[in-house]
């Protein structure tokens, strides 16, 4: 089977690894990929959705897997173009991918289908935003479009709110677009993933992501500094409640709205005292959650995804290991405001009891890996208990270093 995976980060490195390790043999192609990914996958030359799909047709690709979201909503939409070319795609059509691409679309969908979420007001100007905030802090401000996880500000006071409003509505840091003023929700967060195949779905092992750059959840939001996954995180009837109040109505809502969906659907939830509420949908696996969740999956992941893209949900093809999986991100100097490239990474070869996925690296002229992005490397370790996984992931991650490396020291410890 020939599979083309779209994306270039740690999540795609983890997805490609899981495909490679499956009993169903897969020859993998990657676009745009990375030097680390090209050790497992063949590179693809393309400059947009149409040329990517032409490549797939010419090379008789059997399956397209959307790792990241951007191509799902670009041009005519990756899944739409695959469908027109008769290529099964794991990832939704452009119309359904609006659940991630437009926060207002997602909010309207949730209201329409009575899915619990925080209250919100869409605004276009600073003046409207101030009226909607009405002096109530904390408040949550969200740019209504794709912003690589950086378009959200949880503002504790007026000063923070005014700074973010200026960036988004005056400087247009993320381009044109509206802003949502959202009710601040409190509680632990959890990331839920479902494999959705039309009306059917399977809930995978849940995860918890650590979004802030510094320990104790301080500092600005990042793309994610680490994640923990275990079936044990479904305490009591949590899984059943999330299924009944959120996952099931979402899948039914997609059906009712005529939005066919095949692919991973990610529910970012806040476990509030009033029950779980949706913070956001993403039409893909989480990053870095994928790096923690996928190593817990055994069975035939490649066949599972391939069958799903062809319209058959086959939960029997995969199993989830007991225990805990924890991934720890090493980020480059300056992240998340900026990122420094060109710092040589050492020690990756010494990691023996964990996996290393590359998020933002490249090979330099002498063949060494160096930093080439904000999030650089993700080290993932498993353990029978959370404590054992924490100890192992830190022991292994300590072997890796580069100048300016930033890493949290409370992944898997805080928020439990
Ligand atoms: P998002 O990109 O929508 O996932 O938001 C990024 C992060 O901001 C989330 O993971 C939360 O930690 C926080 N956040 C987003 N929306 C809210 C909300 N309504 N209340 C509290 N925190 C939020
Ligand atoms: N870990 C957050 C995300 O993938 O959006």
Nearest-CA neighbor of 77 among 111, 103, 54, 53?
53
Q: Based on the domain organization, do 191 and 154 belong to the same domain?
A: no
Nearest-CA neighbor of 391 among 348, 350, 354?
354
- Ligand 1 centroid to Cα of residue 340, in Å, is 26
Separation of alpha carbons 391 and 397, rounded Å: 10
- Ligand 2 centroid to Cα of residue 286, in Å, is 4
Contact (CB, 8 A) for 270 and 291: no
Q: Based on the domain organization, do 313 and 328 belong to the same domain?
A: no
Ligand 1 binding pocket, CB closer than 6 Å:
118, 140, 149, 152, 154, 182-185, 189, 211, 221, 268, 279-280
Q: What is the pLDDT of residue 220?
A: 86
CATH of the domain at 254: 3.30.470.20
Q: Based on the domain organization, do 356 and 393 belong to the same domain?
A: yes
C-alpha separations of 245 from 88, 248, 339 in Å? 30, 7, 40
Q: Is residue 131 part of a domain?
A: yes
Question: pLDDT tens-digit profile of 349-360?
Answer: 999 999 999 999
Question: pLDDT tens-digit profile of 1-22?
Answer: 999 999 999 999 999 999 999 9
Average pLDDT value for residue range 225-241? 98
Cβ-in-10-Å burial (0-12, 13-18, 19+) of 14 comes to buried
Q: Based on the domain organization, do 300 and 218 belong to the same domain?
A: yes
* Ligand 1 atom at shortest distance from the alpha carbon of 211: 10
CATH of the domain at 375: 3.90.600.10
Q: What is the pLDDT of residue 372?
A: 98
Sequence-ordered strand ranges (E) for 168-274: 179-182, 189-197, 200-203, 207-209, 212-214, 218-221, 226-229, 262-272
Q: Based on the domain organization, do 146 and 45 belong to the same domain?
A: no
Q: What is the pLDDT of residue 221?
A: 86
- Ligand 2 centroid to Cα of residue 411, in Å, is 15
Average pLDDT value for residue range 194-215? 97
Q: Based on the domain organization, do 190 and 298 belong to the same domain?
A: yes
Find the helix or strand (DSSP H, E) in which 111 lies.
helix 103-112
Q: Is residue 17 part of a domain?
A: yes
Q: Based on the domain organization, do 307 and 381 belong to the same domain?
A: no
Nearest-CA neighbor of 261 among 414, 26, 52, 94?
94
Ligand 2 binding pocket, CB closer than 6 Å:
149, 209, 224, 282, 286-287, 289
| DSSP secondary structure letter of residue 53 | H
Q: Based on the domain organization, do 305 and 328 belong to the same domain?
A: no
Which strands make up the sheet holding 2-7, listed edge to edge?
A: 42-43, 27-32, 2-7, 63-66, 89-90
Question: pLDDT tens-digit profile of 276-323?
Answer: 999 999 999 999 999 999 999 999 999 999 999 999 999 999 999 999
Question: pLDDT tens-digit profile of 242-269?
Answer: 999 999 999 999 999 999 999 999 999 9
Structural domain boundaries, residue 83: 2-90
CATH of the domain at 26: 3.40.50.20
Average pLDDT value for residue range 126-147? 93
Q: What's the whole-number average pLDDT of the chain?
A: 96
**Count of other CB atoms within 10 angstroms of residue 303:** 18
Average pLDDT value for residue range 105-124? 97
Q: Write down which residue in 320, 336, 354 finishes a domain.
A: 320
- Ligand 2 centroid to Cα of residue 131, in Å, is 30
The residue to mutate among 66, 191, 227, having the most atoms of ligand 2 within 8 angstroms of its beta carbon, is: 191
Q: Based on the domain organization, do 155 and 193 belong to the same domain?
A: no
Please list, in sequence order, all residues whose beta carbon lies within 8 angstroms of the beta carbon of residue 180, skipping any fewer than 6 positions away: 103, 104, 107, 120, 121, 122, 123, 141, 142, 144
Q: What is the pLDDT of residue 147?
A: 75
* Ligand 1 atom at shortest distance from the alpha carbon of 183: 19
Q: Is residue 113 part of a domain?
A: no
Sequence-ordered strand ranges (E) for 12-105: 27-32, 42-43, 63-66, 89-90
Q: Based on the domain organization, do 227 and 283 belong to the same domain?
A: yes
Q: Write down which residue in 155, 182, 209 finishes a domain.
A: 182
Number of domains in the chain: 4
pLDDT at 149 over 70: no
Q: Is residue 408 part of a domain?
A: no
Identify the sign of the CA torsion 152, 155, 160, 161.
positive
Q: What is the pLDDT of residue 146?
A: 73
What φ, ψ does residue 380 adopt, rounded to 5°? Answer: -125, 130
């Amino acid at each position: 089977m020939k599979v083309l995976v779209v994306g270039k980060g740690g999540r795609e490195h983890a997805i490609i690894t899981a495909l490679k390790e499956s009993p169903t043999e897969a020859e993998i192609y990657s676009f745009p990929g990375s030097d680390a990914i090209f050790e497992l996958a063949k590179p693809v030359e393309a400059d947009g959705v149409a040329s990517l799909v032409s490549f797939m047709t010419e090379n008789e690709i059997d399956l397209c897997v959307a790792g990241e979201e951007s191509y799902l909503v670009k041009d005519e939409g990756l899944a739409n173009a695959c469908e027109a070319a008769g290529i099964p795609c794991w990832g939704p059509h452009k119309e359904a991918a609006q659940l991630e691409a437009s926060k207002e679309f997602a909010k309207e969908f949730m209201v329409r289908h009575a899915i619990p979420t925080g209250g919100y007001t869409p605004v276009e100007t600073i003046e409207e935003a101030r009226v909607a905030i009405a002096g109530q802090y904390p408040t949550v401000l969200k740019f209504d479009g794709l912003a690589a996880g950086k378009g959200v500000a949880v503002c504790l006071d007026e000063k923070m709110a005014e700074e973010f409003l200026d960036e988004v509505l005056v400087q247009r840091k993320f381009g044109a677009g509206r802003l949502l003023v959202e009710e601040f929700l409190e509680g632990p967060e959890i990331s839920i993933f479902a494999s959705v195949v039309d009306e059917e779905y399977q809930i995978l092992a849940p995860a918890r992501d650590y979004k802030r750059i510094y320990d104790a959840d301080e500092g600005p939001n990042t793309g994610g500094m680490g994640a923990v996954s275990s079936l044990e995180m479904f305490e009591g009837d949590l899984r059943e409640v999330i299924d009944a109040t959120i996952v099931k109505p979402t899948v039914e809502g997609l059906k009712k709205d005529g939005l066919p969906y095949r692919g991973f659907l990610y529910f970012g939830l806040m476990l509030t005292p009033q029950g779980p509420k949706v913070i956001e949908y993403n039409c893909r696996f989480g990053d870095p959650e994928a790096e923690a969740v996928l190593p817990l999956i055994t069975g035939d992941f490649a066949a599972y995804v391939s069958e799903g893209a062809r319209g058959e949900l086959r939960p029997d093809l995969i199993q989830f290991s007991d225990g805990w999986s924890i991934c720890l991100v090493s980020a480059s100097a300056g992240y998340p405001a900026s990122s420094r490239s060109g710092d040589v990474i050492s020690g990756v070869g010494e990691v023996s009891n964990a996996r290393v996925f590359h998020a933002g690296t490249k090979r330099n002229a002498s063949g060494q890996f160096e930093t080439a992005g904000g999030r650089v490397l993700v080290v993932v370790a498993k353990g029978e208990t959370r404590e054992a996984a924490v100890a192992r992931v830190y022991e292994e991650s300590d072997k890796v270093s580069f100048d300016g490396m930033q890493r949290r020291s409370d992944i898997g410890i805080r928020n439990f």
